[in-house]
Structure 1
């Protein structure tokens, strides 16, 4: 029998919240009601007793454990020595998406929540066989999550109105042409309805 878990990708204050350095991404999330749609799915998942795991990213002040020069995007981000530092409010999950019973899987390197973390082992220990992905971004994080989850044997569903990327025409193309090859795409209301 299939047992899903919900993976919430980088819905953190320093990414899409009040401490963001990515105002265009926040604007895309706002235009598409990403946070309210994600909250709807999370409320339904919790009510159904399904695991919710926030996949978060952070850096240590000394950058130990993070490759910092192998990717142009990371090099650009880390020009700000305060960016997404462990223990600061920027790495906190958006409060409207977090509840006490939720789990968190933090990474200090890369773009996928599976690489270098215990996420796969956590999912297997919970008896999870499929994952539902939400969050940001369709540029890198969500495709990375979906691809690695498929490679690890999970069935993947992406909540198409609880994800965002920029520019928006590119995000739509990724959702259609990349995510569509890896995962089932579903609307938040439809998914929540199946769990209630």
Structure 2
């Protein structure tokens, strides 16, 4: 785990953005297209911890961005070049533009100041989207990554953040993947090499500290 001083520096609200990854009803909600992933996200507490982080970010003045994956009803612009995309086309619940499936799932709070960034293609919540430009305009130095899945989208977000020059911070108990025991192994053997791995409680402790006047 990072030292308190380093985490405090990395999580300065003035230069930190919290990213929720695919925490949408059609992915982690009760009518998920991926019920196994939704079940793990909820039973592990990852979704509830993401909600706590978002609420704390709102209180601390940390910018929140919600990354949502969606597709047009006609599929135009969507990828077809991997097994994952072809399987998604056959799922009974589709992440269709404008549908309830692409709304942020409970219990995650969404404030008026949050930004929701939708993508029609690819695996990454960052590459090929507006996220990088938004982060730079916010003066972001550290990106806190939460959500699903630890199999694909979360590591993509972390790698992209690092490649773009941001410090990636991952509260390991606020991400989920399948099977459930894959996530800690992936964090330990992959994300820990490139990101600051921490916990929800440690992030909350930093954001709830009294602020010195600037």
Aligned counterparts, 1:27-176, within 5 A: 27-67=39-79, 69-80=80-91, 83-97=94-108, 98-176=110-188
Distance in structure 1 (CA, Å) of the matches to 2:125 and 2:166? 14
In structure 2, distance between residues paired with 1:45 and 1:14 = 24
**What RMSD over aligned residues (CA atoms) do the two structures have, in Å?**
1.4
If you compute each CA radius of gyration, which structure gives the higher value, 1 or 2? 2
How far the C-alpha of 1:48 sits from its partner, in A, is: 1.1
TM-score under structure 1 normalisation? 0.95
Partner Cα separation in structure 1 for residue 92 and residue 36 of structure 2: 21
Say if 2:194 is the partner of 1:182: yes
Worse-matched range after superposition: 76-85 or 148-157? 76-85
- Structure 1 ranges of 4+ moved more than 4 A: none
| Distance across 2 between alignment mates of 1:162 and 1:155 | 17
SS at 2:17's partner residue? strand
Structure 2 distance, partners of 1:38, 1:133, is: 9
Q: 1:4-37 deviations in whole A, cap 9, x for unaligned?
A: 1000000000000022021211221122211221
| Contact 2:68 2:116 (C-alpha < 8 Å) held by counterparts | yes
- Cα distance change on mapping 1:20 and 1:81 into 2, 3 Å: closer
The 8 Å contact of residues 26 and 93 in structure 2, kept in 1 or not, is answered as no
Q: Is the 8 A contact 1:40 1:189 kept in 2?
A: no
Count of residue pairs brought into register by the alignment: 195
Cα offset, 1:96, TM superposition: 2.3
Of residues 91-100 and 50-59 in structure 1, the stretch that sits farther from structure 2 once superposed is 91-100
* Pair 1:18-2:34 in alignment: no
TM-score of the pair, normalised by structure 2: 0.87
Structure 1 residues without counterparts, runs of 5 or longer = none
Q: Is the 8 A contact 1:61 1:81 kept in 2?
A: no
Q: Single out whichever of 117-126 and 170-179 deviates more from structure 2.
A: 170-179
- Counterpart contact for 1:28–1:165, Cα < 8 Å: yes
